[in-house]
């Protein structure tokens, strides 16, 4: 169910702002009779509204077939089709209205060629008037072409909000995408100069709304369908608009469409808009309607969550005091559990940032502890992950810097005392000393030992639930695989730890959704800490890894499953057998019990320079001797980290300098120069 917008055209433009003509002034006689008669069936009321929608679709299609698209009758039928979105009934619940609108949206999508032709007509109307702004020389509005474009855009706006199926179909419609992108591009200067009529400005902001509604679905296919239309570039000028609503409309488009580099460049200075978002989130949470300025609290929370996908944005949210708002949301009553759930997702995403992590513990700590003792929430995996991030893993060990040997797949697990739990081992970044698993039922009993022989390490497939065909494609092959979310029981993080520690390699199903998943990030970073070999599988050909995922992948080669899947699959299986499992002819038995620790350590490479053995205290002395910035002290760098940085500088210089700037915060030229010079003198 879409919480965000059920009584407005969308979260950017409210119904009150749309032209009155778009609203039906009265209900049909059949609906009025059903509404007035308490004995009338709700099913008949629903049937009437759906049939009216089908009737409008049929009549519009007939006009299109007959070529009568220039007539007033045609425009009136398009208007009626658009008005069918609005449902006026006190007998229907919000959920029932949402369901009816979804059914109407599907009917419009499935009407053969309807939306393609309507959007083409809307684009042609814009094309004819793009220079005149739909105005006569005397300033009067050209109503007929503007009204037709308005009806079609409102139809797109409403149903793209309501239905993901409609939004996906719309993202493949070249006419509406051209209309929105060219309107934003061509009218930006005139809008900023305040030269557009009000009605035209409304259509312009509606174009931002249509794009935002599609992006809001979080569907990767929609996202990549929109990439070629460059909405990051077309929306950016409106951040300078004199209208706060225009600025926020453009801002939301950018939040959902920017990559890491674009977000750092375009969004970092828009603190006032982040403040607007946080203030409205707080207001919507406190209000009985759960709305503020037409925005639903869950919609605002999802926007804030999307905003956290960029590392720099987390610091901005912290400055704009979102944590006290999230703390309040964590205390929501049971009937508002969706607010608690969204607050946990935002907090977890922010907890990967060290500055945010300490503040989360201070500001949200009591509420998080209360939830952990609440039967309804104590098993929530977001809550569990927040506890790891804020209490141990990412705050005490310094910055996340992988060892260079990780890329070579060295499995150097060091057993710990048996009394330590898997959770403790995950927090400390060390291997768990798990009890051996019993043999499978079909296996012969072990001889010469009271314990079963541990199974060999398996490849771990790290994917998302939305990728069933690709992840299961690996399973019939000879190497036995462990799919992360399919074989998890009990604690999510315990299972992740066991799987990573018992794996020979981790197959990363790389895509946009993977990069934005908090749990994929935790598992991937833990795999690097455990020195497991990472094997990236690219699933989306337009996706370019950035942020934390781009840093982990570095310059590694990947298997491209976005194009020739069969060829890539054959290469992958051959690589796993020969280079990872080291047993091309050996069939690996299925894992029916929790996986065990990895194989014994491989021989150490030849001795390395003395500084590679430095402790964090010795590195601190090196920092002081070279008069390097004092803010590096809390990172607790060790000698092995310095070695990795030197190798990274040689092998991946762009990633190296990006790491110094983003992770070590060496943003000033002289700081950067001094650090690199000192590093090269080692």
Give me the count of residues in the chain. 682
Distance of alpha carbon 324 from alpha carbon 364, whole angstroms:
7
Coil, helix or strand at residue 623:
helix
Close Cβ partners of 150 (under 8 Å, ≥ 6 residues apart): 19, 22, 199, 202, 203, 206
- Supply 142's token pair: 């050209």
Q: What is the dihedral of CA 41, 47, 49, 55, to 10 degrees?
A: -150
Q: How many CB atoms lie within 10 A of CB 353?
A: 21
Q: Which residue has the higher pLDDT, 402 or 581?
A: 581
Using N-to-C axis directions, what is the helix angle for 143-162 and 198-216, rounded to 10°? 20
**Considering only 57-71, 235-249, 498-512, which range has the smallest mean pLDDT?**
498-512
Pairing assessment for the beta strands 503-510 and 482-483 based on DSSP bridges: unpaired
Give the DSSP letter of residue 491. Answer: -
- What CA–CA distance (Å, rounded) separates 307 from 510? 21
Local confidence band at 378 (pLDDT 50, 70, 90 cut-offs): confident
Domains by residue range for the chain, with CATH: 1-238 (no CATH), 258-399 (1.25.10.10), 455-580 (3.40.50.10140), 610-680 (no CATH)
pLDDT recorded at residue 457: 55
pLDDT digits (tens, 9 = 90+) for 188-223: 999 999 999 999 999 999 999 999 999 999 999 999
Cα angle vertex 413, ends 410, 417, to 5°?
A: 175
Q: Which tokens in the block code for residue 29?
A: 């006689």
Contact by Cβ (8 Å): 481, 581? no
What confidence score (pLDDT) does residue 650 get?
79
Q: What is the pLDDT of residues 384-407, one digit of tens each?
A: 999 988 874 433 333 334 344 433
Q: Per-residue pLDDT for 83 more than 50? A: yes
Is the confidence at residue 475, as pLDDT, over 70?
no
Which one is predicted more confidently, 238 or 404? 238
Cβ contacts of residue 336 below 8 Å, gap of 6+?
290
Instruction: Report phi then psi at 412, rounded to 5.
Output: -110, 70
Mean pLDDT of the region 66-78: 94
The average pLDDT across 607-635 equals 83
pLDDT value at residue 44? 86
Instruction: Name residues whose C-beta falls within 8 Å of residue 348's C-beta, 6 or more positions apart in sequence.
Output: 382, 385, 386, 389, 518
Please tell me the distance from the alpha carbon of residue 620 to that of residue 630, in angstroms, as a whole number: 9
What backbone phi and psi angles, to 5 degrees, belong to 674? -60, -40
CA–CA dist 365, 602 (Å, integer): 42
Question: 667 pLDDT band (50/70/90 cuts)?
Answer: confident
pLDDT tens per residue, range 348-358: 999 998 889 88
> What percentage of the chain has pLDDT greater than the value 90?
42
Q: Name the pLDDT band for 463 (thresholds 50, 70, 90).
A: low
Mean pLDDT taken over the chain: 79
Q: Looking at 173-182, 367-376, 568-577, which range is the least confident one?
A: 568-577
- The dihedral built from the CA positions of residue 404, 406, 409 and 410, taken in this order, carries a sign that is positive
Residue-wise pLDDT for 18-31, tens only, equals 444 455 544 555 55
Confidence check: pLDDT of 65 > 60: yes
From 24-33, 90-99, 334-343, the region with the lowest mean pLDDT: 24-33
CB 461 within 8 A of CB 473: no
Pairing mode, strands 559-560 and 533-538: parallel
Helix (H) or strand (E) holding 559: strand 559-560
In whole angstroms, what separates CA 129 from the centre of its chain?
Answer: 38
- Of all residues in the chain, the percent with pLDDT exceeding 70 is 76
Sign of CA dihedral 156, 160, 161, 162: positive
pLDDT of residue 419: 30
Please give the full DSSP string across 65-94, using - where no structure is assigned.
Answer: HHT-TTSHHHHHHHHHHHHTT----SSS-H
- As a whole number of angstroms, the distance between CA 367 and CA 327 comes to 7
Q: Which residues of 63-76 are buried (b: 16+ CB within 10 A; e: fewer)?
A: bbeeeebeeeebbe
Which stretch of 115-124, 286-295, 312-321, 437-446 has the lowest confidence by average pLDDT?
Answer: 437-446
Q: How far apart are CA 28 and CA 80, in angstroms?
A: 12
pLDDT at residue 166, rounded to an integer: 97
The confidence score (pLDDT) of residue 73 equals: 94
Q: What is the mean pLDDT of residues 146-150?
A: 95
Q: Is the pLDDT of residue 652 over 70?
A: yes
pLDDT at 257: 93
Own/partner contacts of 555-558, CB < 8 Å, gap of 24 or more, are 555/651, 555/652, 555/655, 556/407, 558/510
pLDDT in tens, 481-525: 666 554 455 567 788 888 888 888 888 899 988 888 888 888 888
The whole-number pLDDT of residue 21 equals: 45
> 310 and 263 in contact (C-beta within 8 Å)?
yes
pLDDT at 433: 33
The lowest-confidence range among 96-110, 598-612, 627-641, 644-658 is: 598-612
């Amino acid at each position: 169910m879409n919480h965000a917008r059920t009584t407005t055209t969308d979260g950017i433009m409210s119904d009150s702002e749309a032209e009155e003509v778009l609203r039906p002034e009265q209900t049909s006689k059949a609906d009025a009779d059903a509404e007035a008669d308490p004995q009338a069936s709700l099913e008949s009321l629903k049937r009437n509204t759906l049939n009216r929608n089908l009737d409008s679709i049929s009549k519009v299609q007939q006009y299109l077939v007959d070529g009568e698209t220039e007539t007033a009758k045609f425009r009136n039928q398009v208007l009626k089709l658009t008005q069918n979105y609005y449902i006026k009934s006190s007998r229907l619940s919000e959920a029932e209205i949402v369901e009816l609108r979804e059914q109407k949206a599907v009917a419009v999508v499935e009407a053969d060629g309807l939306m393609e032709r309507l959007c083409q007509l809307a684009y042609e109307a814009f094309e004819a008037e793009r220079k005149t702004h739909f105005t006569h020389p005397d300033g009067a509005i050209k109503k007929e072409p503007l009204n037709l474009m308005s009806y079609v855009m409102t139809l797109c706006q409403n149903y793209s909000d309501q239905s993901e199926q409609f939004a996906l179909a719309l993202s493949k419609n070249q006419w509406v995408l051209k209309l929105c992108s060219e309107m934003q591009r061509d009218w930006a200067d005139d809008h900023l100069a305040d030269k557009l009529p009000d009605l035209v400005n409304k259509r312009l902001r509606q174009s931002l709304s249509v794009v935002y509604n599609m992006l809001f679905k979080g569907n990767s296919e929609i996202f990549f369908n929109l990439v070629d239309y460059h909405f990051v570039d077309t929306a950016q000028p409106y951040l300078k608009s004199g209208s706060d609503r225009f600025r926020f409309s453009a801002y939301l488009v950018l939040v959902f469409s920017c990559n890491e580099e674009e977000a750092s460049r375009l969004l970092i200075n828009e603190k006032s808009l982040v403040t607007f978002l946080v203030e409205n989130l707080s207001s919507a949470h406190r209000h009985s309607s759960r709305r503020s300025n037409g925005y639903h609290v869950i919609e605002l929370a999802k926007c804030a969550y999307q905003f956290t996908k960029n590392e720099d944005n987390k610091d901005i949210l912290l400055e704009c005091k979102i944590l006290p708002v999230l703390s309040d949301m964590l205390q929501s009553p049971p009937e508002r559990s969706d607010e608690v759930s969204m607050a946990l997702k935002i907090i977890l995403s922010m907890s990967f940032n060290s500055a945010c992590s300490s503040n989360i513990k201070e500001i949200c700590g009591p509420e998080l502890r209360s939830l952990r003792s609440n039967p309804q929430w104590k098993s929530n995996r977001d809550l569990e992950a927040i506890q790891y991030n804020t209490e141990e893993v990412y705050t005490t060990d310094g910055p996340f810097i992988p060892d260079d040997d990780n890329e070579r797949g060295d499995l150097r697990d060091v057993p710990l005392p048996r009394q330590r739990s898997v959770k403790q081992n995950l927090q400390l970044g060390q291997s768990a000393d798990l009890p051996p698993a019993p043999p499978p039922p079909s296996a012969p009993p072990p001889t010469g030992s009271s314990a079963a022989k541990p199974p060999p390490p398996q490849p771990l497939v790290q994917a998302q639930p939305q990728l069933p065909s690709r992840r299961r494609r690996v399973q019939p092959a000879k190497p036995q695989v462990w799919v992360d979310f399919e074989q998890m029981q009990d604690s999510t993080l315990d299972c992740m730890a066991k799987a990573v520690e018992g794996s020979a390699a981790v197959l990363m199903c790389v895509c946009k959704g993977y990069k934005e998943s908090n749990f994929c990030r935790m598992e991937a970073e833990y795999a690097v800490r455990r020195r497991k070999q990472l094997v990236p599988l690219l699933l989306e050909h337009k996706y370019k890894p950035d942020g934390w995922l781009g840093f982990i992948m570095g310059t590694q080669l990947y298997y491209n499953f976005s194009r020739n899947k069969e060829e890539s699959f054959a290469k992958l299986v051959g690589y796993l057998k020969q280079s990872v499992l080291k047993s091309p002819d050996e069939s690996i038995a299925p894992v029916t019990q929790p996986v065990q620790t990895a194989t014994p350590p491989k021989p150490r490479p030849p001795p390395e320079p003395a500084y590679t053995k430095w402790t964090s205290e010795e590195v601190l002395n090196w920092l002081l001797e070279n008069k390097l910035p004092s803010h590096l002290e809390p990172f607790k760098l060790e000698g092995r980290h310095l070695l990795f940085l030197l190798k990274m500088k040689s092998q991946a210089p762009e990633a190296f300098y990006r790491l110094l700037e983003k992770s070590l915060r060496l943003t000033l030229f002289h700081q950067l120069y001094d650090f690199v010079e000192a590093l090269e003198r080692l």
